[in-house]
């Protein structure tokens, strides 16, 4: 079995999916229950001479010293070698309450060589509305490392300009949400699909009764819900574990021209069409041949090139596809042709241009 044949059989195996059911919690998210992004600006101190020399680092350090009652004279260079200006960002999960801890990521803003061994000073983390929702501080974990020799040689593994602080921020303010408000809960599908939305509505109505769920569009299903918060939590716990058979994806062929990866969807069809694939090989060889003069002549022996030209064409047959061609037929035919991934891309694009490929062709 050729490598191409094994590859295409693998693509066929992963693209032909059986019918199974997914939980509602895996297919959708409750509207209003979402993460929120936080960002802040601060200083990392305690570095081993690997800090930055950016002007904003010096300005931030001076402002911090003034808050502690220390004033650095204007024009005096504090010679910061162990300090780096950094950005700090984190994700605030839904329903996070004051006092809970979240992870933060710290990234250098200047030309600091490394943040290894540094500690982040108290840094407010703000949301898009400008309010402070958490404060971060602590020692960082930096996975990268590096070493330099006196001759200028160096080695680096991973990045040293970014670090993490597990549980490095404390939540100070809760984000208000509308989870307990109104008479409805809305499920938003991760992948909008009319069939999936319809089936989700039917499954919920089978449990709760007619008209309890309403499919708003291909992306949303609205469900009548109790107003009491405790009852709503129990109500949602039951709904999110209901199983729904999602609708099958549209026919697609995805081509990654950079890696040569081709994925053919399950419902790809081909109209009657003929395909041929062949290679033309031209071989030119040069041999040197000595030419002797005739006897008793005044000629001289010379060396002349002997050029031979050979043309070989692969005798691949033309394949005729009928009107009932399936994905399996396409894979078998391409295997018989013996096309490489690059050739297969050209065949699929030509089929699409001819209108014979009944699928969406996506090139990434």
In this predicted structure, the answer to whether residue 73 has a pLDDT above a threshold of 90 is no
Domain with 23 in it: what CATH number? 3.30.1360
* Cα angle: 249, vertex 253, 256; to 5 degrees: 125
- For the chain, what is the domain count? 3
Supply the pLDDT for residue 89. Answer: 96
pLDDT at 154 over 90: no
User: Between 220 and 345, where is the model more confident?
Assistant: 220
Residue-level pLDDT at 112: 85
- Name every residue whose Cβ is closer than 8 Å to that of residue 90 and which is 6 or more positions away in sequence: 37, 38, 102, 103, 104, 105, 125, 134, 136, 168, 169
Band (284; pLDDT cuts 50, 70, 90): very low
Are residues 270 and 194 part of one domain?
Answer: no
pLDDT value at residue 302: 65
Least confident of 124-138, 142-156, 179-193, 233-247: 142-156
- Shared domain for 167 and 138, answered yes or no, is yes
- Do the domain assignments include residue 1? no
* Range scoring the smallest mean pLDDT among 70-79, 121-130, 259-268, 276-285: 276-285
- Chain segment 245-266, per-residue pLDDT in tens: 988 888 888 888 777 777 877 7
pLDDT in tens, 29-67: 999 888 999 999 999 998 888 888 888 888 888 888 888
Q: Is residue 199 part of a domain?
A: yes
φ, ψ for residue 354 (rounded to 5)? -80, -5
Provide the pLDDT for residue 11: 43
Bridge partner list, 275: 319
- 106-141: b (≥16 Cβ within 10 Å) or e: bebbbebbbbbebebbebbbebeeeeebbbbbbebe
> Residue 276 pLDDT > 90, yes or no?
no
Q: Specify whether 133 is located in the same domain as 54.
A: yes
For residue 110, name the pLDDT band (cuts at 50, 70, 90). confident
183 and 99 in a common domain? no
pLDDT of residue 28: 93
pLDDT computed for residue 327 by the predictor: 57
Tell me the residue range of the domain where 213 lies. 19-32+178-244
Residues 113-122: pLDDT tens digits?
888 889 999 9
287 and 352 assigned to the same domain: yes
> Of all residues in the chain, what percent carry a pLDDT higher than 90?
35
The per-residue pLDDT for 194 is 93
Same domain, 211 and 167: no
Residue 46 forms part of a structural domain? yes
Q: Tell me: do 126 and 51 sit in the same domain.
A: yes
What is the mean predicted confidence (pLDDT) over 67-78?
79
DSSP 173: S
Looking at the fold, whether 226 and 329 belong to one and the same domain comes out as: no
Of residues 147 and 115, more confidently modeled: 115
Q: Collapsing DSSP states into helix, strand and coil, what is residue 94?
A: coil
Q: Would you say residue 8 lies in a domain?
A: no
User: Which percentage of the chain shows pLDDT scores above 70?
Assistant: 71
Tell which wins on pLDDT, 158 or 345: 345
Of the residues 192, 209, 244, the one at which a domain ends:
244
More confident residue, 199 or 180: 199
Residues 116 and 165 reside in one and the same domain? yes
Same domain (yes/no): 163, 68: yes
Measured CA to CA in angstroms, residue 156 lies from 114, 146, 159, 346 at distances of: 11, 4, 8, 41
Token output for 320: 């005729």
Q: Quick check: 256 and 273 in contact, CB under 8 A?
A: no
In this structure, of 129-138, 186-195, 348-357, the range with the lowest mean pLDDT score is 348-357
Distances in whole angstroms, Cα of residue 61 to Cα of each of 54, 105, 285:
11, 21, 74
The answer to whether residues 25 and 42 belong to one domain is no
Q: Which of 154, 171, 188 is the last residue of a domain?
A: 171
Q: Is a pLDDT exceeding 60 seen at residue 17?
A: no
Asked whether residue 69 is assigned to any structural domain, the reply reads yes
Is 2 contained in some domain?
Answer: no
Residues 279 and 217 in one domain: no
Average pLDDT, the chain: 79
In a domain, 183, yes or no: yes
Of 111, 138, 171, the last residue of a domain is 171
Buried b / exposed e along 151-172 (16+ C-beta atoms within 10 A): eeeeeeeeebbbbebeebbebe
pLDDT score at 87: 94
Grade residue 16 by pLDDT with cuts at 50, 70 and 90: very low
The pLDDT of 203-211, averaged and rounded, is 91
Predicted pLDDT at 24: 92
Decide if 11 is inside a domain.
no
């Amino acid at each position: 079995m050729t490598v191409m044949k094994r590859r295409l059989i693998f693509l066929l195996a992963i693209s032909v999916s059986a019918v199974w059911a997914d939980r509602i919690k895996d297919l959708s998210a409750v509207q209003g229950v979402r993460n929120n992004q936080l960002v802040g600006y601060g200083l990392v101190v305690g570095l081993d001479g690997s800090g930055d020399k950016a002007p904003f680092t010096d300005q931030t350090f001076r402002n911090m010293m003034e808050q502690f009652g220390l004033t650095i004279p204007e024009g005096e260079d504090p010679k910061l070698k162990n300090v780096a200006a950094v950005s700090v960002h984190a994700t605030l999960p839904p329903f996070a309450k004051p006092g809970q801890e979240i992870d933060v990521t710290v990234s250098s803003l200047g030309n600091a060589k490394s943040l290894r061994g540094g500690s982040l000073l108290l840094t407010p983390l703000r949301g898009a509305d400008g309010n402070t929702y958490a404060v971060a501080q602590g020692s960082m974990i930096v996975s990268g490392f590096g070493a330099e020799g006196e001759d200028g040689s160096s080695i680096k593994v991973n990045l040293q300009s970014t670090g993490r602080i597990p549980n490095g921020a404390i939540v100070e303010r809760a984000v208000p949400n509308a989870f307990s408000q109104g008479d409805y809960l809305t499920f938003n599908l991760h992948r909008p699909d009319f069939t999936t939305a319809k089936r989700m509505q039917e499954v919920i109505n089978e449990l709760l009764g007619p008209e309890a769920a309403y499919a708003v569009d291909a992306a949303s299903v609205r469900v009548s819900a109790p107003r009491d918060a405790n009852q709503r939590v129990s109500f949602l716990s039951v709904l999110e574990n209901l199983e729904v058979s999602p609708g099958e994806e549209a026919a697609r062929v995805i081509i990654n021209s950079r890696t040569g990866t081709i994925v053919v969807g399950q419902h790809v069809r081909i109209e009657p069409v003929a395909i041929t694939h062949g290679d033309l090989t031209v071989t030119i060889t040069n041999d040197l041949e000595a030419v002797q003069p005739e006897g008793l002549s005044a000629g001289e022996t010379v060396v002349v090139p002997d050029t031979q030209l050979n043309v070989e064409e692969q005798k691949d047959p033309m394949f005729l596809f009928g009107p009932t061609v399936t994905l399996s037929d396409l894979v078998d035919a391409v295997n018989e042709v013996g096309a490489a991934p690059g050739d297969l891309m050209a065949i699929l694009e030509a089929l699409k241009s001819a209108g014979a490929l009944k699928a969406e062709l996506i090139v990434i």
